[in-house]
Amino acid sequence: MKIIVLPGDGIGPETMAATVEVLQTVNKRFDLALELDHDIAGHESLKKHGSTVTDILLEKVRNADGLMLGPMSTYDFKDESKGEINPSKFFRKSLDLYANIRPAKTYSGLPNKVGAFDLIVVRENTEGFYADRNIESGASEMLITPDVVISLRRITRLCCERIARTAFELAQTRRKKVTIVHKANVLKIADGMFIDICKAVGNDYPGIQIDDFIVDAMMAHVVRAPDKFDVIVTTNMFGDILSDLTSELSGSLGLAGSLNAGTQYAMGQAAHGSAPDIAGRDIANPMSLILSAGMLLGWCGQQKKSSALLQASKAIERASERIVKDGQVTRDVGGNLGTQAVGKAIAKCLQTI
């Protein structure tokens, strides 16, 4: 099985190095026959190829079983005509990775202010308010006059149906509850359709409880009582904001794994950015990217019906929980280990799990 590895920018190479060590460990431990194919994207690719991503790289990814994308300096890439393409958007759109799945849970050994919880935000990934993925060519944000900007939001039946089904399928494996998050009191047509479609899909899952919240109220509810939620399904921008909030409530954005999945392809990607201010200092938390790698193995295991891949995915999750409980973590979550040392701690723990 082949996974394409793109280290990225800023802290990307450091966190990816720790992640690769973990992948190599589970490869041996569970006899996965993984092949890690290293390539470049982002600033390094821009310097070498004149573009942050290339069609050759995309074809390589399409011929592989999965992609690990390191943090990218997305804010730096403003002009696509100069090759400054957002790699995350490029792969999400080109591979139709419509579901961004972001778990958030508390860890034994870390203090938290809101009590224990374990939830997943299921975010639609290919439309919504994101101007760079709403239309076939160009962007759906327009400067009408020097003082007027119009941004268009696209919501489609297909995208609503498939993200809803992703959420209900996940809920069947968990506590059997789905919460729909929306702004239908203002976006009456678009979010009204989103709610209606989610509930219609829910009719195919009679054992699952369904409720819904307006997005601003939901922000208050997850701070007040996050343990009441299981699987949360929502549109692109709402999910982006909500998943960052729930991740921070769990202890740190650095603990938040993230999987971008479609029908044929999937991409593991840290929930955070490239943090150039701490790059090269061996202090970045690699756990988000490591947990994302575990999620990618789990997705591949489901696709291939491979018990070894599924076991490896669960082992990465359990090893991460154990090192957090033991305090073998980076400074952002109260420890004193460096980036590479955390990767080695998880790798060592995997030897006995």
The Cα–Cα gap between 237 and 246 comes to: 14
pLDDT at residue 345 in the model: 98
Residue 341 in tokens: 């040392």
Same domain for 135 and 74:
no
- 17, 343 contact by CB (below 8 A): yes
Whether 214 is in a domain gets the answer yes
**Same structural domain, 54 and 149:** no
Q: Note whether residue 219 is domain-resident.
A: yes
- What was the pLDDT predicted at 113? 83
Residue 74 has a pLDDT of: 87
Using CA atoms, how far apart are residues 332 and 335, in angstroms rounded to an integer?
A: 7
Q: Is the same domain home to 231 and 292?
A: no
Tens digit of each residue's pLDDT (9 = 90 or more) over 211-253: 999 999 999 999 999 999 999 999 999 999 999 999 999 988 8
- The phi and psi torsions of 154 (rounded to 5 degrees) equal -105, 130
- Specify whether 229 is located in the same domain as 336: no
In a domain, 273, yes or no: no
152 and 237 part of one domain: yes
Same domain as 238, residue 148: yes
Find all residues with CB under 8 Å of 7, minimum gap 6, and list them.
13, 16, 17, 38, 40, 70
- Which of 250, 278, 301 is at the close of a domain? 250
Q: Are residues 157 and 222 in the same domain?
A: yes
> What pLDDT was estimated at residue 136?
72
Predicted confidence at residue 129, as pLDDT, reads: 84
Instruction: Give burial (CB, 10 Å; 0-12/13-18/19+) of 128.
Output: buried
Q: What is the pLDDT of residue 132?
A: 73
150: domain CATH number is 3.40.718.10
Domain of residue 298, residue span: 1-96+288-353
Residue 212 phi, psi (nearest 5): -145, 155
- Give tens-digit pLDDT for 116-165: 999 999 999 999 888 776 777 777 888 999 999 998 899 999 999 999 99
pLDDT of residue 97 exceeding 90: yes
Domain membership of residue 103 (yes or no) is no
pLDDT category at 324 given cuts 50, 70, 90 is very high
Q: Is 57 a member of any domain?
A: yes
> What interhelical angle do 12-29 and 307-325 show, nearest 10?
120
Q: Where does a domain end: 250, 268, 298?
A: 250
What pLDDT score does 139 carry? 78
Neighbours of 1 (CB within 10 A): 17
- Does 120 lie in the same domain as 90? no
Same domain (yes/no): 118, 246: yes
Contact between 315 and 351 under an 8 Å Cβ cutoff? The reply is no
Q: Where a domain ends, among 250, 280, 312? A: 250
Number of domains in the chain: 2
- How confident is the prediction for the chain on average, in pLDDT? 95
Tell me the β-bridge partners of 179. 211, 232
The owner of tokens 């009191």 is 185
Lowest-confidence region among 51-65, 82-96, 131-145, 285-299: 131-145
Q: How far is the C-alpha of 29 from the C-alpha of 51, rounded, in Å?
A: 38
pLDDT of res. 232:
98
In a shared domain, residues 125 and 242: yes
280 pLDDT more than 80: yes
Residue 349 lies in a domain: yes
Residues 62 and 183 in one domain: no
- Does any domain span residue 271? no
Question: Is position 255 within any domain?
Answer: no
pLDDT one-digit tens code per residue, 168-191: 999 999 999 999 999 999 999 999
Please tell me whether residues 78 and 165 are part of one structural domain: no
Instruction: Return the SS3 of 22.
Output: helix
